[in-house]
């Protein structure tokens, strides 16, 4: 019996020994796997190629992270393009009510590198959304473009304009204060001046706006200026005039929604008439006290306008406020504009003359001396026909706006 027992004992002992060894081995493998998983997740999170948005949540030495509100819009997208070309880190926030996601996609295609550009869909009218955006991103500066911006529409929907422009600017200011973002470049307008008694308009010309658009913008300016009195925020307010043109390289253009064409810029109406989308151009007002009876405006090319914003960003100083007119300093009548548009498009556009549009003013053009002197900025693209020709090239190849790009 003893040999049998001895034969079984080693066998059982062998079984017991193997089980004891296997359990620690399995446990160690599980622990090792967990450690490797945690390590891989950490590496992935730190990898800019995998989780680029993480780069937007931290301040980085030598990199300026700019929040561009309304960055999917006409002016905002051109500004984002310039900032990206100048190696800024850019976050675009837009609710796409007036902007174009296709413009953002073009920018993303041009600057695909991690940490360069991110888009956040958000409504600035929602304070919780705005606060969340600020809490999750490390912004160094804000360029606040987002706004509805049609004079005629503002007279029809004034409450919408006060909410969208004035109230939303207050929300942005509160978020900047709460999250210690110290630099603001505010996109304002010459409409805050109303109809001054003398030309040209300087920065000290009294602000007496005559339409809800101008009034809403002035209220927003007042909010910013009042807050800045007791803070060390760097503030630049740019009051610019009538914007025309588009990216000279043809990557971006102006593409308002079809239902907004009636309220849009005169350049858009000219192009629509030249393409036959509308039967002709409607010029509102021929009895103004001007040389040819039509309104006089200061037309600023979007490339120059964007350059002014970048220069303002570079010159912004803590605790100081800069207010600047951004224009060419030269007024052109609507009739002059129409003739330039005809030459730029090569189309004999039909023109229909109608009564004045509510809220419009006879003559507005700037004195850009202050911005010339203090920011070393001057308008370079001042050939009206050339600016319209550049914009026309984009329009011809984008008959349906960004939808046909």
CA distance 273 to 351: 9
Distances (CA, A) of 118 to 79, 82, 108: 14, 15, 8
CA distance 190 to 238: 9
Chain centroid to CA 130: 15
Q: Are 327 and 240 in contact (CB under 8 A)?
A: yes
Q: Are 181 and 349 in contact (CB under 8 A)?
A: no
* Rg, C-alpha atoms of the chain: 29
Which residue reads 């003559």 in tokens? 363
Is 213 among the residues known to form the active site?
Answer: yes
Q: Are 67 and 142 in contact (CB under 8 A)?
A: yes
Q: Which among 150, 162, 213, 365 is annotated as catalytic?
A: 213
The residue among 100, 36, 51 whose CA lies nearest residue 72 is 100
Which residue reads 């900047």 in tokens? 176
Q: Are 295 and 363 in contact (CB under 8 A)?
A: yes
Q: Return phi, psi of residue 373, to 5°.
A: -80, -45
Q: Are 142 and 187 in contact (CB under 8 A)?
A: no
CA distance 2 to 16: 20
Q: Helix, strand or coil for residue 132?
A: helix
Catalytic residues, which ones?
213
């Amino acid at each position: 019996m003893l040999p049998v027992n001895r034969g079984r004992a080693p066998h059982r002992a062998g079984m017991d020994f193997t089980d004891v060894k296997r359990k620690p081995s399995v446990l160690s493998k599980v622990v090792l796997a967990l450690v490797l998983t945690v390590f891989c997740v950490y590496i992935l999170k730190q990898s800019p190629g995998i989780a680029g948005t993480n780069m937007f949540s931290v301040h980085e030495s030598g990199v300026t992270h700019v929040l561009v509100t309304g960055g999917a819009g006409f002016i905002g997208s051109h500004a984002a393009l310039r900032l990206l070309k100048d190696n800024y880190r850019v976050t675009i926030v837009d609710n796409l009510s007036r902007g174009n996601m296709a413009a953002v996609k073009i920018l993303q295609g041009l600057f695909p590198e991690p940490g360069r550009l991110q888009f956040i869909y958000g409504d600035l009218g929602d304070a919780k959304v705005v606060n969340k955006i600020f809490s999750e991103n490390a912004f160094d500066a804000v360029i606040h473009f987002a706004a509805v911006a049609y004079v005629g529409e503002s007279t029809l929907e004034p409450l919408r304009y006060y909410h969208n422009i004035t109230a939303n600017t207050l929300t942005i200011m509160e978020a900047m204060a709460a999250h210690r973002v110290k630099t603001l470049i505010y996109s304002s307008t010459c409409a805050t001046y109303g109809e001054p008694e003398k030309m040209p308009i300087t920065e000290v010309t009294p602000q007496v706006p005559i339409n809800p658009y101008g009034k809403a913008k002035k209220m927003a300016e007042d909010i910013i200026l009042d807050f800045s009195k007791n803070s060390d925020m760097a503030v630049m307010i740019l009051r610019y005039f009538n914007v025309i043109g588009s990216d000279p390289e043809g990557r971006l253009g102006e593409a308002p929604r079809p239902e907004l064409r009636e309220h849009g810029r005169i350049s858009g109406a000219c192009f629509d008439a030249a393409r036959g989308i509308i039967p002709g151009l409607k010029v509102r007002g021929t009895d103004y006290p001007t040389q040819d009876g039509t309104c006089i405006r200061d037309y600023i090319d979007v490339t120059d306008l964007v350059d002014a914003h970048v220069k303002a960003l570079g010159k912004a100083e803590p605790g100081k406020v800069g207010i600047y007119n951004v224009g060419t300093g030269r007024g052109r009548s609507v009739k002059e504009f129409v003739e330039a548009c005809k030459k730029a498009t090569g189309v004999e556009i039909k023109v229909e003359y109608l009564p004045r549009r509510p809220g419009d003013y006879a003559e507005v053009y700037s004195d850009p001396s202050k911005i010339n002197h203090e920011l070393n900025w001057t308008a370079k693209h001042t050939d009206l026909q050339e600016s319209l020709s550049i914009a026309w090239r984009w329009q011809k190849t984008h008959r349906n706006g960004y939808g046909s790009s």
